[in-house]
Structure formats: structure tokens, C-alpha cells
Amino acid sequence: MGIAKLKAELTNDPLGRGYAGMTDAECAEDLNTAYRQLNKTSMTGSEVVNQVVPAEWSDLTDAQKADFWDIVHLGNINPHGVEATMLITIFGAGSDTITALAAARKYYATRASEAAVGFGVVYPSHVTAARSYHG
């Protein structure tokens, strides 16, 4: 299964990485490099709280603070959903807290993990096997 997915990634090259012109070692290195910035699907309340700028927290009204605590106590928070819109309303679109939260809701991943090729680490031998795979 992993070899078939890796073959598809190398053959189709959906991101235009240029796999066809790379050696097996170069392909493996590219697939293992964490250059893909992806969206987190959830964040904990603690992750959100740790992005709050203390000076901005001090400037909030008691009602805004209560709204904030209501959001972070939801459990897992959708950082791209209604919760994000509510936090923007509380802190303001241009605030340092919202800027920090926008950065925290992203993460870097390898193309191998994003494409779910089935290997924790892709080695040149995996690329060699995938390129010759006829399944």
C-alpha cells in the first residue's frame, strides 16, 4: 500500500516538485522536509490561552473575558471555525493576540506525511522501489 501511494506521488507530482528530474535520494530528502504549512483541525483551550498577549488581556472588559473563557472551555476548539470569529470579535482583528493565534493554528509537515504515503521516513530505497513498482 505505501509503495503504491509513493509511486502515485512521484508519478503525478501534484505539487510540481519535479520528482522526475530528481535522484532517489533527492526525492526522499524532499519528501522528508517539513515545508508544507497546513491548518490544524483543532486546538486545546490551553493552546489558545498561551497565545494571549497579557497587555491585551488586561484591556478586555469583564464581559469579554467571560466570553473568552466560555470559548476556551469548550474543549477542542476549531481554529478556523466560529470560535476563531468570536476570538477576533473579542480581541480585534489587528491585535497581537489574533496574529499569534493565526500563526498557532498552522503547523509544518512533510509531504510524505501529508500525502500519507505510509512511511514515517521515506528512504531512497523506498523511492527506488516505488519507481519500479507495477502494481
Task: Say how far apart CA 101 and CA 119 lie, in whole Å.
Answer: 31
* pLDDT tens, residue by residue, 39-91: 999 999 999 999 999 999 999 999 999 999 999 999 899 999 999 999 999 99
Per the document, the length of the chain is 135
pLDDT above 90 (res 133):
yes
∠ CA 104-80-119, nearest 5°, is: 65
pLDDT at residue 118 in the model: 74
What are the structural domain ranges in the chain?
2-35+120-132, 39-108
pTM: 0.74
**Residue 67 has what pLDDT?**
98
In this prediction, residues 22-48 reach a mean pLDDT of: 96
In angstroms, rounded to a whole number, what is the distance separating the alpha carbons of residues 6 and 76?
32
